[in-house]
């Protein structure tokens, strides 16, 4: 299968690396320099076992129409900058979106593609350089059809190895909500406190903030199982206790975060329900201020 990957950050390199072990992968990075390096050196994935694969890489977006399926791995706030490119991809080519949050769903409704999938990523990945990614934690990719259907794609997803497995879900909104809820709980708090995930549970004072934030969030979604969600998020903190959240990494680099896609979406829901969420609002404003300051190291 010919697979295109838009974006060559940590996720793009991780998916490009694993998928290129069995398929013809073409990377579509943002810079010519990275495209040339990927063509020359391929992608190196470092984890329990390091491996290197050859890939194609190009800045020629017309090559997108030569692919059988395209993974879009750029961060949610970069989607608007590539929307025209996405709309020029042939409508018969499926697109797979791997973004945090749920704010991009409105954009997906404007695309002409007959088959669109959305996914949530449970792998840990850090980009070491333009050709190398560290696979910090083996998880899975949850996947669901946003529109259309394809038995061929389901067969493709189910054929991936256990170390890089895909799990199909029937309801995309519920799948995305579970991940967005967990991200809203963990990412902003770890970014503000500058701690690894496990500290939100280990430190009794941080844990009280964690619990208070949970109460505000769960009140917005009566369809969710309260006890199950609490266990799920707490267990995620513990199972990734040595990991730094993507938002903390962004703050450390002085980069823009996905706070709008994650907590901004939740605040929008609170506004729709006319619910007062002071803790969530304060956390959102603090992260936005840290973005503006850009001096956290």
Q: Tell me the average pLDDT across 159-183.
A: 95
Nearest in space to 192 (alpha carbons), one of 217, 213, 165, 174: 213
Task: Judge contact between 104 and 111, C-beta under 8 A.
Answer: no
Half-sphere exposure at residue 210, Cβ-oriented, CA atoms within 13 angstroms: 24
Q: Tell me the average pLDDT across 85-90.
A: 97
Nearest in space to 257 (alpha carbons), one of 190, 207, 201, 203: 190
pLDDT score recorded for residue 46: 95
pLDDT score recorded for residue 124: 85
pLDDT surpasses 50 at 179: yes
pLDDT score recorded for residue 49: 86
pLDDT surpasses 90 at 137: no
Q: Tell me the average pLDDT across 88-102.
A: 96
pLDDT surpasses 80 at 294: no
Give the whole-angstrom CA distance, residue 179 versus residue 152. Answer: 26
Give the whole-angstrom CA distance, residue 23 versus residue 1. Answer: 5
Give the whole-angstrom CA distance, residue 155 versus residue 276. Answer: 45
Q: Which residues sit opposite 137 in a β-bridge?
A: 124
Ramachandran quadrant class, 254 (left: phi over 0; alpha: psi -120 to 50; beta: rest): left
Collapse the DSSP code of 4 into the 3-class scheme (helix H, G, I; strand E, B; otherwise coil) and give the result.
Answer: strand
Q: CATH code for 2-170? A: 3.40.50.720
Percent of the chain with pLDDT over 90: 90
Q: CATH code for 175-293? A: 1.10.1040.10
pLDDT surpasses 90 at 48: no
- Convert the pLDDT of each residue in 278-289 to its tens digit: 999 999 999 999
Query: Do 2-170 and 175-293 share a fold?
Result: no
pTM for the full predicted model: 0.90
Q: Which residues sit opposite 142 in a β-bridge?
A: 120, 167
Average pLDDT across the chain, whole number: 95
Task: Judge contact between 146 and 172, C-beta under 8 A.
Answer: yes
Task: Judge contact between 10 and 75, C-beta under 8 A.
Answer: no
pLDDT score recorded for residue 295: 55
**∠125-130-132 over CA atoms, to 5°?**
45
Instruction: Tell me the residue ranges of DSSP E strands in the chain.
Output: 2-6, 24-28, 43-46, 51-53, 56-57, 69-72, 95-97, 116-121, 124-129, 132-137, 141-147, 166-168
- Convert the pLDDT of each residue in 235-276 to its tens digit: 999 988 888 899 999 999 898 999 999 999 999 999 999 999
Give the whole-angstrom CA distance, residue 182 versus residue 180. Answer: 5
Residue 223, judged by CB atoms within 10 A of its CB (0-12, 13-18, 19+), counts as exposed
Domain segments of the chain: what residues? 2-170, 175-293
pLDDT surpasses 50 at 152: yes
Q: Tell me the average pLDDT across 165-172.
A: 96
Q: Tell me the average pLDDT across 197-212.
A: 98
Alpha helices (H) along 71-203? 83-87, 105-108, 151-158, 172-193, 199-202
pLDDT surpasses 50 at 140: yes
Catalytic residue set:
179
Q: Tell me the average pLDDT across 25-36.
A: 97
Task: Judge contact between 36 and 18, C-beta under 8 A.
Answer: no
């Amino acid at each position: 299968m010919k697979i295109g990957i838009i974006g060559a950050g940590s996720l793009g390199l991780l998916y490009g690396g694993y998928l290129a072990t069995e398929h013809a992968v073409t990377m579509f990075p943002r810079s010519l320099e990275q495209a040339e390096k990927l063509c020359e050196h391929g992608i190196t994935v470092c984890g329990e076992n390091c491996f290197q694969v050859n890939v194609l890489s190009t800045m020629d977006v017309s090559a997108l129409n030569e692919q059988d399926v395209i993974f879009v791995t750029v961060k949610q706030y970069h989607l608007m900058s590539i929307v025209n490119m996405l709309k020029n991809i042939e409508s018969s080519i499926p697109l797979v979106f791997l973004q945090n949050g749920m704010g991009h769903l409105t954009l997906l409704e404007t695309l002409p593609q007959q088959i669109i999938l959305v996914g949530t990523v449970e792998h840990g990945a850090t980009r070491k350089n333009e050709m190398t990614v560290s696979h910090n934690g083996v998880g899975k990719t949850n996947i669901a059809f946003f529109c259309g259907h394809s038995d061929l794609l389901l067969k493709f997803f189910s054929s991936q190895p256990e170390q890089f497995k895909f799990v199909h879900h029937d309801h995309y909104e519920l799948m995305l909500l579970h991940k967005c809820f967990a991200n809203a709980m963990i990412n902003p708090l770890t970014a503000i406190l500058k701690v690894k995930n496990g500290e939100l549970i280990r430190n009794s004072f941080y844990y009280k903030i964690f619990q208070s934030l949970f109460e505000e969030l769960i009140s917005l979604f009566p369809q969710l199982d309260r006890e199950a969600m609490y266990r799920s998020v707490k267990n995620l903190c513990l199972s990734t206790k040595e990991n730094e959240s993507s938002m903390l990494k962004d703050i450390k680099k002085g980069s823009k975060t996905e706070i709008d896609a994650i907590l901004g979406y939740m605040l929008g829901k609170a506004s729709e329900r006319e619910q007062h969420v002071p803790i969530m609002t304060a956390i959102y404003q603090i992260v936005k201020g840290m973005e503006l300051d850009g001096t956290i190291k």
